[in-house]
Amino acid sequence: MFTDDSHAQPAAQRKVANQRLRAIAYSLDCLIPGFYLWLGPIQLRFGGSLPEPDYPGIIHSTVGCALVLPGYRIFSTYQGDYDPG
């Protein structure tokens, strides 16, 4: 009757957090206007876009923020690349 699914939820939470970071990485990579903030497990995205299904990019930083304005102006604390490896 009872099952131990304690390992399923953390994996699901990591997947959701990874999707949020991928959306931020995609939006920054494509210079889509918006405000982006990621602080460990907290990821906020105001504006931007969801990533394409095959977009492999990720953010290699646990803390950062960015502001992308129309006209391809970007102000970001993140200086890395979005390559997966």
DSSP codes joined into one string, 33-60: SEEEEEETTEEEEEE--PPPTT------
- Per the prediction, the chain carries an average pLDDT of 85
- How sure is the predictor about 3, in pLDDT bands with cuts at 50, 70 and 90? very low
The pLDDT assigned to 9 comes to 54
What are the structural domain ranges in the chain? 8-76
Rg of the Cα atoms in the chain: 15
Q: Is the pLDDT of residue 40 over 60?
A: yes
Burial track 45-82 (b if 16+ CB lie within 10 A, e otherwise): beebeebeeebebbbeeeebebebeeeeeeeeebeeeb
